[in-house]
Amino acid sequence: MNEKLGMQIIGNAKKTIKVHQSSKSPFVRIGVSILYGFRRAANTVVRICVDRNFRSILLLQLLNSKNVHQTTSLTYIDRYPSIFSACREYLNYKQDIKILSYGCSTGEEVLTLRRYFPNAQIIGTDINKSSLDICRKLSVDDKISFIYSEPSEIQKHGPFDAIFCMAVLQRKPHEIASKGISSLKKIYPFEKFEQQIIEFDHLINPNGLLIVHFTQYSLLDTKVASKYKVLGNYNQNDYLTPVFDKNSNLITNPQTQNSIFIKRHK
């Protein structure tokens, strides 16, 4: 069967399902639901076979759900220019800085950081092995490396002058928004976010930066909040999906949430 014919059959099946979904007969409705289930299962099987990233994310959810934060890998070059510029300005006084890009996905964030910090040592880390494979094929200088995200491995490369954690500490924000979910307790509890921030705290030099951007929770709600002060007025006002409090409950009237933090000197 060629690809065009296959698409035609799927298209016709979709139309038939739509027409019969609202049938008055319960038998037709049940039949259509079963067909619908089959179609979804078939779609998933096809994606597992042909889409390596999809397969990798599915495996993460099944086998490593305890450690994974955001599962999707969307990224692009120079995604947060004003934040990167502010950090460059703040860190300019230092020569040999070390930067961690936590959740670097397919490496665009690391390539971007190199443009902003030409002399820094940059470590990119991700939990998705398929993304890491793509990172490792990039042509980079020898002060850039990519490692699998495991606390002990990251620790070997620290401490850091800046940790960028962008669009990582969240879970499926658009789906949460569209379904009107008001508690993240079972999906992505606050404690998991807080634990990650505490881990970062052990890895940052005094006066270093922790950038936590596009996240469903606030660093200022965590146990280590008093160790940090805000840098500038860089915030996630452009994060158009819901944010949650330390009980994992939806905040109906969210305040401005800052993104760049300086670790205070003890």
Ligand X SMILES: C[S@@+](CC[C@H](N)C(=O)[O-])C[C@H]1O[C@@H](n2cnc3c(N)ncnc32)[C@H](O)[C@@H]1O
- Cβ nearer to ligand X, comparing 53 with 207: 53
- Cβ nearer to ligand X, comparing 18 with 202: 202
The Cα 103–Cα 93 span in angstroms is: 26
For residue 250 the two structure tokens come to 């939806």
The Cα 176–Cα 209 span in angstroms is: 29
Find out whether 170 and 70 touch, Cβ atoms under 8 Å: yes
Whole-number minimum distance, CB 37 to ligand X, in Å? 29
- Cβ nearer to ligand X, comparing 8 with 51: 51
Binding stretches for ligand X (CB under 6 A): 67-70, 72-75, 79, 102-103, 105, 109, 125-128, 131, 149, 166-168
In angstroms, what CA-CA distances link 54 with 43, 60, 86, 175, 247?
12, 10, 34, 17, 31
Whole-number minimum distance, CB 168 to ligand X, in Å? 4
Say if residue 263 is exposed, middle or buried (CB neighbours under 10 Å; 0-12, 13-18, 19+).
buried
Whole-number minimum distance, CB 48 to ligand X, in Å? 18
Whole-number minimum distance, CB 69 to ligand X, in Å? 4
The Cα 256–Cα 236 span in angstroms is: 7
Whole-number minimum distance, CB 88 to ligand X, in Å? 17
- Cβ nearer to ligand X, comparing 108 with 161: 108
- Cβ nearer to ligand X, comparing 199 with 221: 199
Compute the residue count for the chain: 266
Return the SS3 of 186.
coil
Whole-number minimum distance, CB 57 to ligand X, in Å? 8
Measured at CB, which residue is nearest to ligand X? 103
Whole-number minimum distance, CB 158 to ligand X, in Å? 14
- Cβ nearer to ligand X, comparing 105 with 216: 105
Torsion of CA 201, 209, 66, 181, to 10 degrees: 120
Most distant CA pair in the chain, distance? 74
The Cα 171–Cα 215 span in angstroms is: 9
Rounded to 5 degrees, φ, ψ at 78 are 50, 50
State whether the Cα torsion 87-90-94-98 is positive or negative.
Answer: negative
- Cβ nearer to ligand X, comparing 32 with 134: 134
